[in-house]
Amino acid sequence: MWQIWLIIAILFFILEMMGPGFLLFWVGVGALITMVVSIFCDNIVIQIGVFTISSTVLLFCTRPFVKKFTKHDTTVTNANSIIGQKAIVTKEINSLKGTGQIKINGEAWSAKSSKEDIIEEGARVTILNINGVKAIVAKTEEKTTVVE
């Protein structure tokens, strides 16, 4: 009977390689544990019990530990990378007129005030969020000259 558990374990390992996640690996390890038990015990009910319990325990006890070490940090790209940075207003930000432009890292962005107030040209702002193609900004206290 141990050969059947070995085949089952190999099948779970192959399926694990085909799919994302780290779920079927533990079921395959449970099948290997059951394979060892089947060498000493011929009772299929005990073998299925060992398989179920060992797979469940391995899944719930070790999966969070493995996820902690295999967790991939998301890389901030493009638009989200400017959130929190300072920028200079190159065209007055006026929510009533729907105008406003800032410059950050040599790039021009359409901008909108977070408080719906008017921010004059040359003011320094902090980028709070990105909404569609507009940067949502808040005025900082410092004033600088516009560099183009």
pTM: 0.46
DSSP H or E run through 39: helix 24-40
Domain architecture of the chain: domains with CATH: 2-70 (no CATH), 78-143 (2.40.50.140)
pLDDT at 22 over 80: no
DSSP letter for 148, please. -
DSSP letter for 132, please. T
* Sign of torsion over alpha carbons 92, 93, 98, 102: positive
pLDDT, mean of residues 95-109:
89
48 or 60, greater pLDDT:
48
Phi, psi of 76, deg, nearest 5: -75, 125
Cβ(123)–Cβ(139) below 8 Å: yes
Minimum mean pLDDT among 17-26, 49-58, 75-84: which range?
75-84
List the beta strands (DSSP E) in 1-148: 86-94, 99-104, 107-113, 123-131, 134-143
Residue 87 three-state SS: strand
pLDDT, mean of residues 133-145:
77
pLDDT at 120 over 80: yes
